[in-house]
Each structure stands twice: as C-alpha cells, then as structure tokens.
Chain A
C-alpha cells in the first residue's frame, strides 16, 4: 500500500487564476496519476506523470491547461491554469501497485470551486 498526502484539500478560486495541487507519496513510485472527478461522474484520467520525462496527457487534456511537475520519485504537482467555473471538480492524485494485479491508491482529493 501507499500513503498519499494531497493538498490543499479544498479551495475556492477566482476565475482566470491558477491553482497548484501537491501530491506527496511515502514511497518511491515510477508513475503518478492525476484524475478529475466531476459531480455524478466517474474518475477521468487527466495525465500520467513520470519522473524525468514529460507527462502523458489523455485525450481532451492539454499541458497548457494542466501543467504537471514530477521533480522526484515521491512528489508531483498539478496546476489548473486560467480557471473557469467548468474546472470546478475534485482532483485526485493516485499511484498504482502493479504486482500480480493493479491496485490503485489515492490521495484524499482536492475539491476545487471556481467562482
């Protein structure tokens, strides 16, 4: 298992501003994942953050809007840039234990409200 600390846990932001979410893992991991969870919706993968290389973004998500940093094997940040009310959501960071079967572990999430 992995213990993941994510902050902030919630924030209310003005439209047009940016928010950086931090994710700290208690062990070294190769990949970290960032998800968005909108009300009533499933978890949607935004991007996969690999240490030492650029993040890999899923369809519909771009680096200019969601820049990601991965400076070492235990830490990552996701920035939500130039926010609009449509960005209001829960953002989750995750790591996976890819043993015999893949098991995901999540941070507590960041509830973002853009006004």
Chain B
C-alpha cells in the first residue's frame, strides 16, 4: 500500500510568519499534487509537480518535488489568515492507478 505521510498534522501560526509543510513517501510517484480544502468545501487543486527537483511558485506559495520523486514540500511566505485550511498532498503512480492522498496538514493563520 502506498502511503503519503504529511507533517506537521496541525500548525497554528501568526500572520506574517513563514511555514513549510512536508509530504513524504517510500514510493516513487510520477506526479504529486497539492490541494487546499476550506471548511464546508471540497479540496481545490493548487499545483501539480512532475519532474524531480521541480520548483513551482504560486504567489506566496512555493512547491518543490524531491529529486527522487518521493517527497514534496510546500512553503508559504508571509502567511495570511486567508491561507487557513487543510493542505493535502496526493500522489499519482507509485504502483497504484489511483490517487493516493496524505492525511493533510491543518493550517491556522491567526491575525
């Protein structure tokens, strides 16, 4: 069974701080995605990373795919209350034809 481990599980920070969320696996994935889920809503795709070592930026969010395509990180610079939500990573491949989701990181940014 392919597993994606996310850390930390919970994170509460003040507005303006930086943070990094990690997504790790022992399996190699052909691509990895990050989603954000707000209360009462379904997850919304933020980004897909495909190439080992790839870095993608989305405004204050920076996503990186590990060289071996087994791990990924999400870094948020100068967090804002609007960044509050559940961040989920999901992997494609890794021996499974289905998307595999991590447990998520619940981020709270306090004003």
User: Hey, which bits of chain A sit against chain B, CB under 8 A?
Assistant: 4, 6, 9, 40-43, 45, 92, 94, 96, 100-109, 111
Contact = CB atoms under 8 A, between A and B. Distances in A.
A108 B40 contact: yes
B42 A4 contact: yes
Contacts of B43: 43, 92, 104, 106
A8 to B, nearest CB: 12
Interface of B: 9, 30-31, 33, 35, 40-45, 48, 50, 88, 90, 92, 98-99, 101-104
Chain B CB within 10 A, most for which of A92, A102, A107, A108 = A102
A106 B42 contact: yes
A110 B36 CA distance: 17
Contact of A103 (B30, B48, B104): B48
B41 A102 contact: no
A28 to B, nearest CB: 20
Contacts of B92: 101-102
A9 B9 CA distance: 26
Interface of A is mostly: strand
B40 A96 contact: no
B41 to A, nearest CB: 5
Contact of A109 (B33, B42, B45): B42
A24 B30 CA distance: 30
Nearest to A35: B101
A100 B30 CA distance: 10
Contact of B40 (A4, A9, A43, A100): A9
